[in-house]
Structure 1
Amino acid sequence: MKVITKILLCFFFTTIFFSVHIKAIEEEQSIIIEVEGDPHKHRQYIEDYHPLIEVVQVYDTIFTGIALKGKASNLERMGSLHFVKKSYPVRTYQTNINRSVPFLTETDDIDTEQMKFTGKGVKVGVIDTGVDYSHPDLSANYKGGYDLVDLDDDPMETLPEQGEPTLHGTHVSGIIAASGNMKGIAPEADLYGYRALGPGGRGTSIQVIAAIEKAVKDGMDVINMSLGNTVNGPDWPTSIAVNHAVDRGVSIVIANGNSGPANWTVGSPATSPKAVSVGASTPPMKIPFLEDSFEDKRIELAPLAGSKPWDLEKEYPLIDGGLGEEELPNARGKVVIMERGIVPFSEKARKAAEAGANALIIYNNEEGILQGSLDDSQGPIDIPVAAVGKKDGQWLMDHVTEGEYWIDTTYQNIQDKIADFSSRGPVTTNWNIKPEIVAPGAAIVSTVPGGYRELQGTSMASPHVAGGLALVKQAHPDWKPEQLKGALLTTALPLKNGKGLYNPIDQGMGRMQPQAAIDTETIIYNPMLAFGKIDKLKDSQTVDVKIENVSKETKTYHFELPQNTHGLSWQLPKSFTLEPGDKKNVSIQLSVISNMMDKGLHQGWITLKAKDTSYQLPYLFINREADYPKAMGLEFALKTFSKEEYEYRIYLPEEAKSVTIDLYDPHSLVFQKTLVTLEDTEAGVIEGTLKKRNITENGEFIANVEVKTTEDKTYNYQTVLSIE
């Protein structure tokens, strides 16, 4: 009998699976199919021989497919057509003005023309949950869009009567182009909404890809995608679609993900080499801390999104509120602490507020960062609510149970701190540095249906950069995506963490500075120096960098030799001069003696100088091996148009000797069965089918994926898998 130990289970994460199936009920539905051959000819065939099916859209740019509407029984027949190809992996995509806008756009330089650029005439598409185009701060700039969920021209956010309502796309849109009570980064940009994520903010790969194609055909200059999955690979279908769109002249900005601070957590499509992938930093903020001077203890508080600001100015007694299930008769004039679990955050907060508490602290019941928000649909919650981690929460609880315990609040002003939740790179397979740039993503207030709301995440950082690109595009309308991206990265501000610069995989080139990008005199087109994986005892890798002088003066450039590191040596270009408008490719060579250095991830910075200006170029390489995930993104669902076969997909960053997928009971951890066994697999997307008659299990399981590498090392990855 096989059993997974609880130690192993500490590392599994939950993914929600969302598959497109045809329900056996006679109601009109919308689907998108991928086809082989000329989709326009196939459209004619469907219209001639299947008149009860409505062809809504034909896709022939980013991918080849057709959008259809019809009753379920008629749509099922599409699966038997010879030109219908298997669908893309139906991976779930979720939705990974205020102080941040003036922080990014204002400067002390009185000679600047920063107010000249507002994004006017630049078309920005938002691929998300839709947009509330009736919002008074968005209505003037909204120019249209498309709904890839319902296949119509109305990309409104999901309404309550349609399912779990959404607001994410409206919040993102406001950061980019709000123009009313609040001002976005580019308040005069033309705003377009593409609803690729439906109720609850969920959608499929094929909807996202179709939305990219529609936005490209509609002539967008910039596309923002504050969405993603957990697959850390550059060749997932959505990442490839993004590359094709950039090749067609569209700048695409993508949120890096909210699975930090661990490394290797960036997900597709932010893994696309041609996208601008964005991590989250903090705008100017006043951070509250709980402080016990006698114990020399200081605990940072993380206010929940939508909470009233934490504004306590003196000591208060701290009391135990349990899980928030019981009444709190002794809470008046005190701070309540509750454990996360069972009762929703908003209900906990209301119970504490109704009992007269001054504030509420919620501590996590598992390791990691607690992120949450308050639902004010039942009325505002008029006390501050903040979160702390499990370890800090248990420390506070230990003191509360010992007797009366008082706690004070102190404050610290911060800015330009990398948010813990921001996903880190690098990307597997090609080892690229991600994110490439950061922008404010913490405590961001923006538009939502019916008003305004504070949210946080790289979803909020990404639209800051999309808006910044709109400003640069307005200033330089002839620049292509490669130049726009290069200008933004070249002029980013490298951020410091108190000990020096944050690591490249934390911040990329640094925090966006749109005015500096507009005024830049130099563009470094590929400043992220990814030297790949070192497998030999002695190895040399070379990265080529293209540099352009976009000023009106002759410029001389030179590299500073990095600090000596044991086992590492550099060959850098000699000083060179560029006339105005000239470009030059230069080669940077890294030589490594692998047994003289630690195994794993190595990263740092190289300095390029042009007179009084310095540019910090991040570099990265893997010495022999690293702790990157060896398998990701397991999916298992009924095959589209089939009731007799299941299909599975999984992503492997490298080839493997064997892959085994075992199912375990989620409660007892007892082995149930082996689902799949594969031998000698290639890197990339691995997929196959299983007959339904061979799958007798039903319900929810823990799937353990065991990967045996070509070096005979074994790795395990766990996720939740549902079989229906």
Structure 2
Amino acid sequence: MKITAIISALAAATLVSAGKFHSTLPGKSNIVADSYIIQYQDGVSRSNAHENLRKHAVDYKIRNEYDLFNGAAIKVKSEHDGEALAAIPGVKHVWHVESFSLPKGEKPKKASKPSDIESSSLHHMTGVDVLHKKYKLTGKGVKVGIIDTGVDYKHPAFAAPGAAEGCFARYGKNCRVKYGWDFVGDAYDGSNDPIGDSDPMDCQGHGSHVAGIVGGNAFDIKTGPKPVVPWIGVAPEVTFGAYRIFGCNGEANTDVILAAMEMAFNDGMDIINMSLGGGSAYKENPTAILGEKLIAHGMNLGGAAGNDGSEGVWMVSDTGLGETATSVASFDNAFGAYNSFTYAGASHPYNPSVATGDKPIAAPASAVLVPLFDKAGVLQDGCDVAAYTGVDVKGKVVLLYGDFTRCGSVGRGNIARDAGAAAVLVQSVPFGLAGLTGADNLPMGSIENAAGAALLAGFKKNPKNAFTWSKTPTNVKVEGGGAPSDFSSFGLDGELRSKPDIGAPGGNIYSAYPRAKGSYAILSGTSMATPYYVGSQALYYQSKKSKPNGADVRRAFKNTATISKNFGSKTYASAAKQGAGLVNVLNAITATTAMSPDRIDLLDSVNLRKTQKITIKNTGKKTETYTLSHIPADALNSYATGNTWPTAEPKIEADYANVAFSSKKVKIAAGKSVKVTVTFTEPKNGDAKHFPIYSGYVVATPSNEGSPAVHVPYIGLKGDVRNVPIIDKDAGLPVVFAKANGKYEVPTANYEFNFKTSFPSVAVRYGSHTPNASIRIFDAKTKTFLGYVNSRNFGAAVGPSGRMVNLDKFNQLNVRRFDWRGEVFATEDITAKPVQLAAGSYNIVVASQKKLTKGAYPADFEIYDLGNVKVVA
């Protein structure tokens, strides 16, 4: 159904209840000045909403208008802010327009030619290869919308199958990109006005790579740039819509993202791919809300879980947080093409540094190995010049330990080069092949952890062992391949919901790239995992010969995913890392069982949902008997030392729940369903004061071996989530600074502030979610509450917050500073302009609402009283 038809059915009305302004989340500074997303009350028409804005003297310019979302993006020219807009009758929600980036860390690597084409295919991991060959599924007839940097639609990988030539005209003959729009223009970077047109040509690269994963096809190429490998995407005959929301550089704003989502719906896309970066927050954000509406009206949506795995728990990204949207985690590709060397009779792959142009290492034959040991014989990281004292490394290959805690590859490379090294190899920690920026004029490469150990063993036997360096890449099975990617973000969300939902191949993925940038590239990220999942859905749609409900499709994939282990582990990875597991498209299509719900959120010890009912439906043609069982997964301990900031790498523990079933075997006739009661008992192991996140899978296995087992993931938190630290006290925060002359300084005991040239600034860091991150002002003498801080740089200090990342874009500790010049809001539901306080003595309190509480102050808040500040005229 078209959006216009949906909206026309709504009766026009003018409501008088005040709406809600969602102030910019603490930790996010990426707001667009004076620009807002407005969602109207249900039943309020566009004309009525504009009339109400005019009645309240709002001078504004329309940036975009939305139908199914029922709202608009506006730039305000008058003095009205978000609070004032929310108070206007007919307005339901107001948000700042914010900028989204492409997920961090997704930089292309030069594509190389594997020696074994078949074994290099990541489709072996997921059953897609079988669906291509045996079932002849290609995604034909399915429409997929790519909301990204555009698509190089003239790339021959996006031409129609069997075409003698590529697509040379927009949406024309031989072109599988049949729909699309450029909402922004080349020069757009998120800070300037978008200038769109009908041409969604990709000048950045990300969108073409994403589209290639969904459905690129290099097997049929007759002309144009030749791939280094006859490669094929997941669904090589899908029809594309390319909706460009990024310029050649920079970010994209929520107003154009919403517009792209609605156009994709109006163009009849079956599925949309949103490989966007974003902070960790709550599901009440505009893209998630619209995503839910689209899914309810027949679309499906895949959103990237994020590349913040190095940040620890609570970090899954915004876009896939909707109740029925899919948040996609990443698994590393099990195979890859890498340069290699031979040492002590064994061959090992390595990853050249970017600084040397990713060129193979060409060290002289005389360059033997020198491990950089300390006095105790332990391999060093090479960050200290003194470590080379007395060590002859001139013309030799230095082996370093790959812990990058103290310094990066550039610094240690410069030191090694100055010491005379011919090359440097860095042993990855804990495994895999790390990416190195590297030092100029020095060959550097990362090697697998096991390779480092093998080199050390070979060196001890014979220090004169020589290297033989390959001149071309070869195909290898990668250490860590087939397991969840280190970079993939951990859940949960702020309501202890199970996110991410599922995983897909996203590490070291070969795909199309703009012709102007080399035509093919290898990228890693949840941006690559998401289109793999979306392409898998296209195969599923084609196999069913109908358009199934979006939520049902997600359940089918989650039920049948492959539950996986971390690399080198004997236990299963947490559901907070891999969701339901690695997508198994063959299982999803051939399964004759459905299990719902598709996740179980147990919450915490205080709110434990101990008893759950699951429904098992036999969708096959014969009566089936199912055996119920339980697979426990790793527990994640992020607060083992009493820390207030979650550890970057959660401690894995064997804290397993006990799971009991009302019946361990059930017999179900064809087409019928049975409900089973499942009772959960929290793990006996695990300290509740450390808030371990435990998880596992409830499994139903049919007696018929021809049908795959199905499962549902569950997640719980042992302990009282109300006591999970919110503010980072470990960093000495929160604290009040004085901001004077553009600089922050520590005020003296009797410091006198003013609200013009030397004003208070409240510094905070949010280590986990809070439904209400507030900074409150009280009269120091009477203790009367005066209101919530209104910061001119970040808005009102009240409202929900996700957790912040550890470091900012300048690699400095990420601290949010609310500069306060005396403005406060009297209530949370702001209906008037902020009040300007006069000189006086004020008490500043940082109060963060605890999770899963009703928000009664002060009982439901984590409170830090920062004392009194004296403000003079």
TM-score (ref. length: structure 2):
0.58
Q: Could you say if the C-alpha distance between residues 241 and 557 of structure 1 is closer, same or farther in structure 2, counting changes exceeding 3 Å?
A: same
Aligned to 1:26: none
Aligned to 2:244: 195
The amino acid across from 2:717 in the alignment is: I
1:474 CA drift (Å): 0.9
Asked if structure 2 preserves the Cα contact closer than 8 Å seen for 1:91 and 1:205, the reply is yes
Asked if structure 2 preserves the Cα contact closer than 8 Å seen for 1:228 and 1:267, the reply is yes
Aligned residues: 629
Write out per-residue CA displacement over residues 177-198 of structure 1, whole angstroms, 9 at most, x where no aligned residue.
2123442111111111222334
Write out per-residue CA displacement over residues 387-410 of structure 1, whole angstroms, 9 at most, x where no aligned residue.
999xx9xxx9xx9xxx99999999
Matched, 1:707 2:848: yes
SS in 2 for 1:432: coil
Alignment gaps of 5+ in structure 1: 1-12, 23-29, 160-165, 325-329, 637-641, 655-665, 697-702, 717-724
1:603 CA drift (Å): 1.7
Q: Could you say if the C-alpha distance between residues 235 and 265 of structure 1 is closer, same or farther in structure 2, counting changes exceeding 3 Å?
A: same
Aligned to 1:264: 314
Aligned to 2:800: 652
SS in 2 for 1:465: helix
Aligned to 2:512: 447
Spell out the pairing of 1:298-337 with structure 2 (5 A cutoff): 307-308=358-359, 315-317=368-370, 334=397
TM-score (ref. length: structure 1):
0.69
Picking from 702, 726, 729, the partner of 1:610 is: 702
Aligned to 1:18: 30
Q: Could you say if the C-alpha distance between residues 535 and 62 of structure 1 is closer, same or farther in structure 2, counting changes exceeding 3 Å?
A: same
1:118 CA drift (Å): 0.7
Asked if structure 2 preserves the Cα contact closer than 8 Å seen for 1:277 and 1:435, the reply is yes
Picking from 523, 529, 536, the partner of 1:468 is: 536
Write out per-residue CA displacement over residues 558-579 of structure 1, whole angstroms, 9 at most, x where no aligned residue.
3136799999563434633333
Instruction: Give me the whole-angstrom Cα distance separating, in 2, the residues matched to 1:569 and 1:411.
Output: 37
User: Percent of aligned positions with the same letter in both sequences?
Assistant: 23
Picking from 205, 214, 230, the partner of 1:176 is: 214
Instruction: Give me the whole-angstrom Cα distance separating, in 2, the residues matched to 1:508 and 1:695.
Output: 52
Asked if structure 1 preserves the Cα contact closer than 8 Å seen for 2:793 and 2:819, the reply is no
Asked if structure 1 preserves the Cα contact closer than 8 Å seen for 2:270 and 2:298, the reply is yes
Instruction: Give me the whole-angstrom Cα distance separating, in 1, the residues matched to 2:838 and 2:412.
Output: 41
Asked if structure 2 preserves the Cα contact closer than 8 Å seen for 1:650 and 1:687, the reply is no
Aligned to 2:595: 524
Instruction: Give me the whole-angstrom Cα distance separating, in 2, the residues matched to 1:310 and 1:550.
Output: 56
SS in 2 for 1:523: strand
Picking from 513, 526, 530, the partner of 1:458 is: 526
Instruction: Give me the whole-angstrom Cα distance separating, in 1, the residues matched to 2:241 and 2:79.
Output: 30
Aligned to 1:421: 487
Aligned to 1:143: 178
1:104 CA drift (Å): 4.2
SS in 1 for 2:534: helix
Write out per-residue CA displacement over residues 86-129 of structure 1, whole angstroms, 9 at most, x where no aligned residue.
752334322119845433465797x9854511111111011122
Instruction: Give me the whole-angstrom Cα distance separating, in 2, the residues matched to 1:246 and 1:667.
Output: 39
1:248 CA drift (Å): 1.1
Aligned to 1:505: 576
* Of 602-611 and 143-152, the range deviating more from structure 2: 143-152
1:687 CA drift (Å): 8.6
Q: Could you say if the C-alpha distance between residues 427 and 671 of structure 1 is closer, same or farther in structure 2, counting changes exceeding 3 Å?
A: closer
Aligned to 2:254: 205
Instruction: Give me the whole-angstrom Cα distance separating, in 1, the residues matched to 2:247 and 2:500.
Output: 27
Instruction: Give me the whole-angstrom Cα distance separating, in 2, the residues matched to 1:112 and 1:204.
Output: 38
Write out per-residue CA displacement over residues 504-526 of structure 1, whole angstroms, 9 at most, x where no aligned residue.
11212211121221222112243
Root-mean-square deviation over aligned CA pairs = 5.9
Aligned to 1:156: 200
The amino acid across from 1:495 in the alignment is: S
Aligned to 1:576: 666
Picking from 221, 236, 246, the partner of 2:285 is: 236
Instruction: Give me the whole-angstrom Cα distance separating, in 2, the residues matched to 1:619 and 1:421.
Output: 22
Asked if structure 1 preserves the Cα contact closer than 8 Å seen for 2:397 and 2:423, the reply is yes
Instruction: Give me the whole-angstrom Cα distance separating, in 2, the residues matched to 1:490 and 1:458.
Output: 21
1:250 CA drift (Å): 1.0
Aligned to 1:720: none
Q: Could you say if the C-alpha distance between residues 359 and 32 of structure 1 is closer, same or farther in structure 2, counting changes exceeding 3 Å?
A: same
Matched, 1:624 2:719: yes
Q: Could you say if the C-alpha distance between residues 361 and 59 of structure 1 is closer, same or farther in structure 2, counting changes exceeding 3 Å?
A: same
Q: Could you say if the C-alpha distance between residues 707 and 232 of structure 1 is closer, same or farther in structure 2, counting changes exceeding 3 Å?
A: same
Asked if structure 1 preserves the Cα contact closer than 8 Å seen for 2:601 and 2:716, the reply is yes
Picking from 459, 462, 484, the partner of 2:553 is: 484
Picking from 103, 109, 128, the partner of 2:148 is: 128
1:257 CA drift (Å): 0.7
Aligned to 2:188: none
Instruction: Give me the whole-angstrom Cα distance separating, in 1, the residues matched to 2:283 and 2:196.
Output: 31
Q: Could you say if the C-alpha distance between residues 263 and 487 of structure 1 is closer, same or farther in structure 2, counting changes exceeding 3 Å?
A: same
Q: Could you say if the C-alpha distance between residues 387 and 565 of structure 1 is closer, same or farther in structure 2, counting changes exceeding 3 Å?
A: closer
SS in 2 for 1:137: helix
Asked if structure 1 preserves the Cα contact closer than 8 Å seen for 2:383 and 2:411, the reply is no
1:256 CA drift (Å): 0.7
Alignment gaps of 5+ in structure 2: 1-24, 104-110, 112-116, 159-166, 168-174, 185-193, 219-226, 373-380, 386-392, 470-475, 633-653, 726-767, 776-789, 803-811, 851-857, 865-873
Aligned to 1:556: 625
The amino acid across from 1:124 in the alignment is: V
SS in 1 for 2:295: helix
Asked if structure 2 preserves the Cα contact closer than 8 Å seen for 1:437 and 1:512, the reply is yes
